[in-house]
Structure 1
């Protein structure tokens, strides 16, 4: 951490199928893109918090990162997203807290762009 850095948080989300493969690959993709797009190094991350909708129960997103060899020394936490009638299904959300020199740009992937249409220009959605 640079002494001029301050604490920031950046959000993201990704839609997944309820399989180990889909959750594993898409959570890893989201995390990697958040770091790359925002020039964040893992050594600058304070913690990562995930939420996931109840229809995703094949794999914990924190476990997905660990299995992919990522975030080995980063504190990870996962929780259930509250059920909201009419809410988007099969979504993993992420809140990445880090020290840096600038605020981050959010990333929404694989259909999750619909969650924040106001940020689509800032997102590298796929």
Structure 2
């Protein structure tokens, strides 16, 4: 058994509570579907978002999902870098698994596909 990190990112079109929460759920569900794991397999989730998003904590959406209430979650503001992708939410999910690094499927949605085009379709 190994602890592996699964990366994911998405964007929203505006600083809106419902959109932030909704896109966070879409991203998490896609990561779970592509990697086939349960909340019990998750060690923790590190969540960042760009400074232009302050209408909601993305962790709230995850915490309210069935079975995810006890998963350790941490939110932070992404490092502010010139010309970086705006309105972006990123997840780093640490799971306990027997999968190899090559078997892990990272997920990039919406405008975030620009961050890692090599991984966006994997």
With structure 1 as the length reference, what TM-score do the two structures score?
0.88
- 2:48 counterpart of 1:51: yes
Q: 2:2 maps to which residue?
A: 6
Structure 2 stretches lacking a partner, 5+ long: none
Mapped partners of 1:112, 1:38: distance in 2: 19
In the alignment, does 2:117 pair up with 1:120? no
CA distance in 1 between counterparts of 2:24 and 2:81 reads 22
Cα RMSD (Å) of the superposition?
1.3
Cα distance in 2 for partners of 1:70, 1:30 equals: 17
Q: TM-score, normalised by structure 2?
A: 0.91
Aligned residues, how many?
118
Aligned residue for 1:87, secondary structure, equals: coil
In the alignment, the residues of structure 2 paired with residue 95 and residue 80 of structure 1 have an alpha-carbon distance, to the nearest angstrom, of 13
Deviation, structure 1 residue 7: 1.0
Q: Which residue of 2 aligns with 1:20?
A: 17
**Structure 1 unaligned runs (5+)?**
none
